[in-house]
Structure 1
Amino acid sequence: MDELIDVLDDNGNPTGETIMKFEAHKNGVFHPTVHIWFYTKTGKVLIQQRGKDKDTFPLLWDVSVAGHIGAGEGVLDSAIREVEEEIGITISENDLQKVGLFKSVQKHHETLIDCEYHHTFLCELKIPLNGLKKQDSEVEALDLIPLTKFAEETWGLANISKYVPHGPAYYKTIIKAIKEKL
């Protein structure tokens, strides 16, 4: 689904312009997104398998919840909305713990260049996996895996081809942030 999004400069600053998401991806224009990583107090992390019809990285495992920030939408409002849409639970601003802002450039092909700044958060998952309601158009599957296995497969590079290639430094930051919460 195409939507209007805010344009950012190369340093992640808003330019005051808006553009359709399709145009941003076609022309490699920077724009903001949200990433929300859910973890449990028992040391597990929620991962999402991307839908089979996604333009980028179909069927690879990825962040628990992610999405584009709509034009004029606040970062926290976007995070709350995306969580509701993708896994069917309601959270509040107080549930989100900021991890950082990550610059990402992924050139998929000549007319699909993802240039994004990921506003990244942690959130404790307080309900069982079977209590989540995945958005079928976006999410193929959800899984809770031990943080140690997640670390081995991403940061340890044991099974990196299973995941969206955010890079070892990104995954290392996420893993360390979750460990601090346990």
Structure 2
Amino acid sequence: MDELVDILDNQGNPLGVSRMKSEAHREGFFHPTVHVWFYTSDGQVLIQQRGRQKDTYPLLWDVSVAGHIGAGESIEKSAVREVSEEIGLKIRPSDLQKIGVFKSVQKHSESLIDCEFHHTFLCELRVSLEKLKEQESEVESLALLPIIQFREEVLGLGTDKYVPHTKEYYSTIIEALEKTFRANL
């Protein structure tokens, strides 16, 4: 779905202009996104298999919920909206724990260049996997994985089942998940 997104400079600062998401991707304009990683109190992480019709990384496993921040929309409001849309779960902004902003540049083709700043959060999943409702156009499947297994898979050698985020990104996510899990013991 095409939508208006705010355009950022290469440091993540708003430029005061908005463009359609398709134009931002075609021209390689930086824009903001949200990533929400869900975890359970027993040390698991929710991962999402991207829909088979996605333009980028179809059927690869990725962050629990991700999406573009609409023009003029607050980061937290966007995260809450994306969670509701993609997995049918109602959360509040106060449920989100921000862990960082990550700059990402992925050139998929001459006409598809993702230049994004991922505003990244953790959020505790307090319902069973069966209670989640996958958005058909975005999500192929959802799975819970022990954090230790997730660590081994995304930081291990030669795995190609996950979206290729940077090692720094995955390491930061895993450290934050492990720290949160230890704090909840």
TM bucket normalised to smaller: over 0.9
Distance, in Å, in 2 between the alignment partners of 1:16 and 1:165 is 30
Cα displacement (A) at 1:157: 3.3
Letter in 2 for 1:138: E
Give the aligned partner of residue 166 of structure 2: 167
The CA RMSD over aligned residues, in Å, is: 0.7
Matched to 1:86, the amino acid is: E
Change in Cα spacing, 1:127 to 1:158, as seen in structure 2 (3 Å) is farther
Counterparts of 1:1-182 in structure 2, within 5 Å, are 1-157=1-157, 159=159, 161-182=160-181
* Counterpart contact for 1:155–1:169, Cα < 8 Å: no
Quote the Cα distance in structure 1 between the aligned partners of 2:93 and 2:54. Answer: 28
CA drift of 1:158 comes to 5.2
Q: Hey, what's the Cα distance between the residues in 2 that align with 1:5 and 1:56?
A: 18
TM-score by length of structure 1 reads 0.98
Distance 1:95 1:157 in 2: 34
Distance (Å, rounded) in 2 between the aligned partners of 1:53 and 1:89? 23
Gaps of 5+ in 1: none
Post-superposition Cα deviations, 1:62-114, rounded to whole Å, max 9, x if no partner, equal 00000000000000000000000000010001100001000000000110000
- Return the letter of the residue paired with 2:176: A
Q: Name the TM-score, length of structure 2 as normaliser.
A: 0.96
Separation in 1, partners of 2:43, 2:104:
27
Aligned residues: 181
Letter in 2 for 1:180: K
Structure 2, unmatched stretches of 5+, are none
Structure 1 runs, 4 residues or longer, greater than 4 Å off:
none
Identity of aligned residues (%): 65
